[in-house]
Amino acid sequence: MFQRLTVYKIAFINIFFAALLMLTWHKPLLVFIINITAFLANGFFLFASLHNIHRFLRRNDERLFIGRKRTLIVFSSVVYMMFVVGYVFFDITTRVLSICFVSWTILMLLTHLFSKPISILLHTIFKKRRRIAIVGFDDNANKLAEKLKSKNNHFIEHFDNKNISNKNTPLHTLSGYIDFARKNHINEFYISVPKERETEIAVLAEEAEKHCIRVNFISPQQNLKSGFYHVHYIGGLPVLKRYREPLKRLHKQFIKRSFDIAASSLVIIFILSWLIPIVSLLIKLESKGPVFFRQLRSGRDNDNFTCLKFRSMYSNDVSDLIQATKNDARVTRIGAFLRKTSLDEFPQFLNVFMGDMSIVGPRPHMLHHTEQYSSQVNHYMVRLYLKPGLTGWAQVKGFRGEIRNIELLKSRVDHDIWYMENWSLLLDIKIMFMTFYNIIKGEENAY
Is 136 in the same domain as 238? yes
Nearest to residue 390, comparing CAs of 301, 302, 267? 267
Q: Tell me: pLDDT of 63 over 60.
A: no
| Averaged pLDDT for residues 99-109 | 77
61: pLDDT strictly greater than 70: no
How far, rounded to the nearest angstrom, does the alpha carbon of residue 115 sit from its chain's CA centroid? 20
Please check whether residues 331 and 308 belong to one and the same domain: yes
Which of 278-287, 395-404, 414-423 shows the lowest per-residue confidence on average (mean pLDDT)? Answer: 395-404
pLDDT at 345: 92
pLDDT averaged over the chain?
77
Confidence check: pLDDT of 14 > 80:
no
Domain-embedded: residue 118: no
* Residue % of the chain over a pLDDT of 90: 19
Same domain, yes or no, for 286 and 414?
A: yes
Q: Are residues 311 and 435 in the same domain?
A: yes
Domain boundary among 113, 148, 183: 113
| Whether residues 139 and 87 fall in one domain | no
Residue 122 lies in a domain: no
Count up the domains in the chain and report the number: 3
Q: What pLDDT is attached to residue 420?
A: 94
**pLDDT score for 363:** 92
Give the per-residue pLDDT at 68: 57
What percentage of the chain has pLDDT greater than the value 70?
A: 75
- The more confidently predicted of residues 431 and 116 is 431
In tens, the pLDDT along 150-204 reads: 665 566 777 765 544 444 444 455 567 778 787 877 888 888 766 666 666 777 7
- Does 313 share its domain with 431? yes
What pLDDT does 226 receive? 45
What SS3 string covers the chain?
Answer: CHHHCCHHHHHHHHHHHHHHHHHCCCCHHHHHHHHHHHHHHHHHHHHHHHHHHHHHHHCCCHHHHHCHHHHHHHHHHHHHHHHHHHHHHCCCCHHHHHHHHHHHHHHHHHHHHCHHHHHHHHHHHHCCCEEEEEECCCHHHHHHHHHHHCCCCEEEEEECHHHHCCCCCCCCCHHHHHHHHHHCCCCEEEECCCHHHHHHHHHHHHHHHCCCCEEEECCCCCCCCCCCCEEEEECCEEEEECCCCHHHCHHHHHHHHHHHHHHHHHHHHHHHHHHHHHHHHHHHHHCCCCCEEEEEEECHHHCEEEEEEECCECCCCCCCCCCCCCCCCCECHHHHHHHHCCHHHCCHHHHHHHCCCEEECCCCCEHHHHHHHHCCCCCHHHHHHCCCEEECHHHHCCCCCCCCCHHHHHHHHHHHHHHHHCCCHHHHHHHHHHHHHHHHHCCCCCC
Same-domain status, 283 and 387: yes
**Model confidence band, residue 253 (pLDDT cutoffs 50, 70, 90):** confident
Q: Are residues 28 and 156 in the same domain?
A: no
Do 79 and 170 sit in the same domain of this protein? no
Which of 175, 208, 242 terminates a domain? The answer is 242
Amino acid 417: pLDDT: 94
Q: 432, 360 in Cβ contact below 8 A?
A: yes
User: Do 279 and 218 sit in the same domain of this protein?
Assistant: no
User: In this predicted model, what pLDDT tens digit does every residue of 291-345 receive, in sequence order?
Assistant: 999 999 999 988 899 999 999 888 776 666 666 666 677 888 888 888 888 889 9
Is 124 inside a domain boundary?
Answer: no
Given this model, what pLDDT does residue 169 score?
41
Task: Give the domain CATH number at 222.
Answer: 3.40.50.280
Same-domain status, 282 and 389:
yes
Please give the residue range of the domain that contains residue 101: 2-113
How large is the average pLDDT for residues 256-283? 91
Residue 334 domain-assigned (yes or no) = yes
